[in-house]
Structure 1
Amino acid sequence: MSRLTFLDISYNYDLETRQSSSWIRNLRGLEHLRLAEVNLTRDVVESVVSLPNLTSLVMSDMPGTPLSPLGNLTSLSHLELFGTYFTQQSFPIWISNLTSLVSLYLTKYNISSSMPSAVLSLPHLRNLELFGNPSLKVNLSSIVQHASQLSSLSIVHSDVGRMIPNSTGNMSSLTTSALYDNNIQGRLLDSMGNMSLLTTLALSDNNIEGSLPDSMGNMFSLTSLDLSYNAIQGNLPNFIGNLSQLEYLRLSRNSLRGNIPLSSLGGLPKLSYLSIGSNQLNGSLPSTFGNLSSLIKLDVSNNSLSGTFLLSQLENFTKIRDLSLSDNFLRVKVEDFWIPKFQLQALYLSSCNMDGDFPSFLSTQYNIDELDLSNNSLGGNIPDWLWGLT
């Protein structure tokens, strides 16, 4: 067993490991250890520190098992602690001794202290994820000051302060940044445009206000942008058309107004997810919408869009699966005998001023499982084939 390098005994809560801790001490060559939902005794957990070659450690959901200091594991590069019980409520300062640490993931802890700057100053730290720690105080300014070399930063449902620091743009090495559900306030800064390597930016479920800065048009590497559930105002900016790598765009539940800049959106050939519902957008949906042929989801619901929209204008949307046009001032029309090239899974056309017979194209939608045609003026009979859409 001393030659074993990888061990995963997760999800074996009734595994008999209580008789002795010698079994783990004998695994001198172990490099990767995963313990999740395993009911271990204290001496077994403490024996982990005797593994000299351990580089990756995952410990999660071990109720009743106190977490011992692991600062002697100086070869550790990956540490993931999920729901493990600390012996104290202060931040485990021994993490600052893990000088080889590259990735640190701390999830769902009842820590009421601040994160020490010594942890942020670890020389090789590149990936930091803090999820579901509402009492853990993490100062964004301190992260920028001490950990500007991070390539991945995810802080979710934690206390990161209320404002985005002006120095955030100095984190030019970031490729992924997820700071959602943190009650962050204030405006997005011009300096964010300096983060040209960023591929994922998620700031949803905060209280960010103001307009989107034009400098974001320099974030050419972005593939995913989620700013939903904020208080962002102003028009949908034309610079979005510069983000040619964008695949996922979610700006729903804000206060955006004005027309949809379809000429800009039409320059995003990779866009597969577009959600701009629940804003104050107006104007029409012209036929140029059909240029976004890679879309899988389109949500423009709950705005003030108007005019007549023919569903056949989506003729090129061969990949679309989720379509929502509900709760606008649109008049949606469906031509008789039209057979689309797509197969929908969800269709929301509530309050779309539809009239005439029940739309016959739905008989060709064999995969649909969510359909909303409420609050329209459809007449005639409900066709028998509808009940065959199992």
Structure 2
Amino acid sequence: MIVFPLLWFLFSTISTSSHQNTLVCNETEKRALLSFKHTLSDPAHRLSSWSTHEDCCGWNGVYCHNITGRVIKLDLRNLGSSNFSLGGKVSPALLQLEFLNYLNLSGNNFGGTPIPGFLGSMRSLTYLDLSFASFGGLIPPQLGNLSNLQHLKLGGGVSFYEPQLYVENLGWISHLSSLEFLTMYEVDLQREVHWLESTSMLSSLSELYLVACELDNMSPSLGYVNFTSLTGLSLPWNHFNHEIPNWLFNLSTCHILLNGLDLSYNQLTGQIPEYLGNLSSLEYLVLYGNRLNGTLPSSLWRLSNLVYLDIGNNSLAGTISEVHFNKLSKLKYLDMSSASLIFKVKSNWVPPFQLEEMWMNSCQMGPHFPTWLETQTSLRYLDISKSGIVDIAPKWFWKWASHIDRRLIDLSDNQISGNLSGVLLNNTYIDLSSNCFMGELPRLSPQVSLLNMANNSFSGPISPFLCQKLNGKSNLEILDMSTNNLSGELSHCWTYWQSLTRLNLGNNNLSGKIPDSMGSLFELEALHLHNNRLSGDIPPSLRNCKSLGLLDLGGNKLSGNLPSWMGERTTLVALSLRSNKLIGNIPPQICWLSSLIILDVANNSLSGTIPKCFNNFSLMATIGTEDDSFSVFEYYYDYYYYYYRYIGAPNYENLILVTKGKESEYKSILKLVRSIDLSSNDLWGSIPIEISSLSGLEFLNLSCNNLMGTIPEKMGRMKALESLDLSRNHLSGEIPQSMKNLSFLSHLNLSYNNFSGRIPSSTQLQSFDAFSYIGNAELCGAPLTKNCTEDEDFQGIDVIDENEGGSEILWFHIGMGLGFIVGFWGVCGALLLKKAWRHAYFHFLYRVKDWVYVAIAIRLNRLQNNLRVFLNFKAQKL
């Protein structure tokens, strides 16, 4: 009985294939497609098969009807990188494809060009996908003419959160009477206040996705909305800031099987309504990233069809026990992270579900290790970081965790202990940081892509780990073993780890030289070897790391010169070599690093002058400017969740900098920092005036050197300066008046130099205490106790910039000279020529002399009397 259907199927397949091979596309449609191709840009030659010599039914992305040979489907979506994107313009030649019912241009890049209105005339279309193709401007209302359209996807571009498409109103959408699936990504709908009314008029609509569309109101006062066929509603990344509306939970009265509800990444407030239980067929519930509070409703635990439950990153509270999960046997995905929930179950609990993903960071599960995890044989993603566990990891856990399907294990920020010597780690992403693990380092499988074991108590030599034989080529990209007790020399086995992009071995007890083989890490973007006992020169092989953006070798015993080849690494954004034994000059090649925003070579033995070319650090001359090279400071792990792709929070590189006189760790704001620290060296010469052009610089420390000369007059142009330290040098002259303009300055140290004159008067400069100016004997004025003399007062008068007021100064002096001459000879000349005036003048002087003499005698006599009375009073008291 089975043989006949099988033969019939084979015959049908062969016949169809044979017929398709003989299909010849319509000549008019072929010319139309070639015209369409002509207006497109195709850098990857994806349309190379579109040739006049070939049948268009065999072209890439073109599908013809298997009987008529007419073009019915055009699928040109880009699933690869941006290098494979089509661009240009969409030609109206498509109108000649009168039987076309499927058009997909998603994932391409049309550079903000408008969606062509003529698409509204292609009445045969049932499927139209223009999503993530970087179209811009107004969505043409002509699309409302597509009465046969069932699937419509619009929006999305190169940059997230920047709506490129917008609508004035959605009235046109109500004419799409056949529409079943509507998806809009990053389409600006804020002008349309009646979006809910317009979409609810679509009687056939079963799934509605409006993602990051600038919506701010879900009409919470409505009790009923006429979605007659809706089964899935997704409204994440909008601006709803009210309670969850009740009409959502009245959809069940319309006999709707609502199997998906996504309101994540909004600002919804209040409690999760008890009415949630009305949606008895709900399979996906996503409320992540709102401001919901209170306890979870009891009706939630009656949703027996739930597959995906995500209520994380809210202000929910309460205790959850094993009883709550009795009916959730279908659960595959559970996210209760970043909430104030307490997860308290018995140690012998056997859950009714088999999870595939579990995200519980910051959900209190401790103090004991959750032994029920051993029952979860299908779990692929496990995050129980910051969950208050203070326990030894059981032996079964590492065998359970090493299963090949486990992609993520995150136990970070607990107090989990155990000896991992000999343990094999076999997961793609492993984060064991900030715990109490000890012993020698574990072994790795080639599958591991990220390994973070920072802030533990691992000890022993690092070489066995680095030189272990892997069963295949390593895929390790990120390795962080900082802040442990690792010792020994860095081995020469770095050729095994050429996939590394980020390496942090800082704060250990590593010794010896930096091996030349580290230059084989060609993909390396960030290297931290700070605070160890490394010695020797900086190896020139590091110049082969052509993607290096952050280099931190501070706090070691490195010697030799500051390498000039570092100027070749123009990708460098942050360079820290502080607290080593480096000698020689600062090479001028360092100025080739135009993207550099952090330069720290403090506490070495560098000599010579400060290069005048520091003004080439162009990003230090700007405020708030970001650059592509800043990507070194943050990186993402792409997790593919069960229900939708979610890019997690960024991970940040860190750097310890001495700013405002103290050590500070910078992480998330590191890309905003602009800092130069050349302190505690043997630099001499003057401060280059070019350095004052770095108007975006925030921290400048040139202290403890042998610098001479004056402070550059235009230092006041460095408007972003927050900290300036020029102490313990041999600088002289006056403090420039322009420094009154440094309104952001909160730390100033000019002590122990040879500055003179009055401290410029300003709210900013007088806000510092005397210790900022101490050790400058000729300096006077507040906040110092030394007052300035009249000469110094005159010298302290604001000096006008030569370039701006030279002529005013010249005329000022000319005017004073003329005034003196006229005044002098006006008086003296008259006395010489007029005898009567002369007698009167000298008679007046004699009278003034007598008056002064009498007045002084009277005051002296009064002073003597007062002194005599005071002495008599003191004598009587004694």
**Which of the five TM-score ranges fits, normalised by the shorter chain?**
0.7 to 0.9
Instruction: Give the whole-Å Cα distance in 2 for the aligned partners of 1:214 and 1:116.
Output: 28
Among 393, 396, 407, the alignment partner of 1:102 is 407
Per-residue deviation, 1:85: 4.0
TM-score of the superposition, structure 2-length normalised? 0.40
**Greater fraction strand:** 1
Deviation of the 1:267 alpha carbon: 1.7
CA contact (8 A) 1:247 1:271 kept: yes
Find the aligned partners of 1:335 and 1:221 in 2 and give their Cα distance: 36
SS in 2 for 1:180: coil
Distance (Å, rounded) in 2 between the aligned partners of 1:266 and 1:219? 19
1:346 corresponds to 2:699: yes
1:223 and 2:525 matched: yes
Partner of 1:285: 586
Residue 198, structure 1, aligned to residue 500, structure 2: yes
Indicate the residue corresponding to 1:274 in structure 2. Answer: 575
Question: Is the Cα–Cα contact under 8 Å of residues 715 and 736 in structure 2 kept in the other structure?
Answer: no
The offset of 1:102, in angstroms, is 0.9
Identify the residue that residue 283 of structure 2 maps to in structure 1.
2
- Would you say the 8 A contact 2:318–2:340 is kept in 1? no
Which residue of the partner structure matches residue 313 of structure 1?
613
Equivalent residue runs for 1:296-375 within 5 Å: 296-310=597-611, 312-320=612-620, 321-335=674-688, 339-340=692-693, 342-375=695-728
Q: 1:25 to 1:325 in 2, by over 3 A?
A: farther
2: CA distance, partners of 1:46 / 1:383: 75
1:338 and 1:361 in contact (8 A); partners too: no
Counterpart residue type for residue 619 of structure 2: K
Write out aligned runs for 1:55-204 (5 A): 55-60=357-362, 62=364, 66=368, 67-86=370-389, 88-91=391-394, 93-94=396-397, 96-97=399-400, 99=403, 100-115=405-420, 120=424, 122=426, 125-134=427-436, 136-137=437-438, 139-140=440-441, 142-144=442-444, 147-166=445-464, 168-169=466-467, 170=469, 172-204=474-506
- The structural deviation recorded for 1:229 is 0.2
- Larger RCO (CA within 8 A; separation ≥ 6): 1
Alpha-carbon distance, 1:213 to partner: 1.0
Q: Which moved more, 1:179-188 or 1:288-297?
A: 288-297
Q: CA deviation at 1:341?
A: 5.0
Offset at residue 209 of structure 1 (A): 0.6
CA-based RMSD of the aligned residues comes to: 2.9
| 3-state SS, counterpart of residue 361 of structure 1 | helix
CA shift, 1:33, in A, is 0.9
Q: Using a 3 Å threshold, how does the CA distance of structure 1 residues 334 and 19 change in structure 2: closer, same or farther?
A: closer
Q: 1:2 to 1:372 in 2, by over 3 A?
A: same
Change (3 A) 1:243 1:101: same
Matches of 1:363 and 1:24, distance apart in 2: 69
Q: Give the share of equivalent positions with the same residue, in percent.
A: 27
Higher helix share: 2
Match of 2:735 in 1: 382
TM-score under structure 1 length normalisation: 0.87
**Is contact 1:167–1:191 with CA below 8 Å preserved after alignment?**
no
Deviations 1:347-390 (A, max 9, x none): 11102322333323321111111211111223333344424322
Per the alignment, in what secondary structure is the counterpart of residue 406 of structure 2? coil
8 Å Cα contact 1:112-1:137 kept in structure 2: yes
Equivalent position SS for 1:36: coil
Pairwise CA distance, 1:152: 1.2
AA in 1 matched with 2:680: D
Q: In structure 2, give the amino acid aligned to 1:182.
A: N
| C-alpha separation in 1, matches of 2:585 and 2:321 | 71
Tell me, in whole angstroms, the C-alpha distance in 2 between the residues paired with 1:41 and 1:90: 18
Equivalenced residue count is 380
Alignment-derived partner of residue 50 in structure 1: 352
1:223 and 1:258 map into 2 onto residues whose CA distance is 24
Moved more, 372-381 or 324-333: 372-381
Cα distance in structure 1, aligned partners of 2:322 and 2:330: 16
Shift of 1:300: 0.9
Output the CA distance in 2 between the equivalents of 1:333 and 1:21. Answer: 75
Q: Distance in 2 between matches of 1:75 and 1:308?
A: 64
| CA apart distance, 1:175 | 0.9
Gaps of 5+ in 2: 1-281, 286-307, 621-673, 744-878
CA–CA separation in structure 1 for the residues paired with 2:314 and 2:598: 36
1:60–1:84 Cα contact (<8 Å) kept: yes
Judge which range, 107-116 or 324-333, deviates more: 107-116
Q: Which amino acid aligns with 1:3?
A: Y
**CA distances 1:307-351 after superposition (whole Å, capped 9, x unpaired):** 1224x2212111132111111001152345875255201111102
Q: Which amino acid aligns with 1:266?
A: G
What runs of 5+ residues in structure 1 fail to find an aligned partner?
none
> More displaced, 355-364 or 56-65?
56-65
Alpha-carbon contact 1:138-1:159 (below 8 Å) kept: yes
Counterpart CA distance in 2 for 1:168 and 1:162 is 12
CA distance in 2, matches of 1:389, 1:47: 64
Shift of 1:181: 0.6
1:247-298 deviation line (CA, Å, top 9, x unaligned): 0100011001111111x21221211111111100001113222112221111
Does residue 210 of structure 1 match 2:210? no
Paired residues of 2:513 and 2:534 also in contact (CA < 8 A): yes
Query: More displaced, 45-54 or 233-242?
Result: 45-54
* 1:79 alignment partner AA: L
1:150 partner letter: V
1:273/1:318 Cα in 2 relative to 1: closer, same or farther (>3 Å)?
same
- Report deviation, 1:53: 4.3
Query: Does the CA-based 8 Å contact 2:602-2:678 persist in structure 1?
Result: yes
In structure 2, do the counterparts of structure 1 residues 294 and 44 end up closer, same or farther at CA, with 3 Å as the change threshold? farther
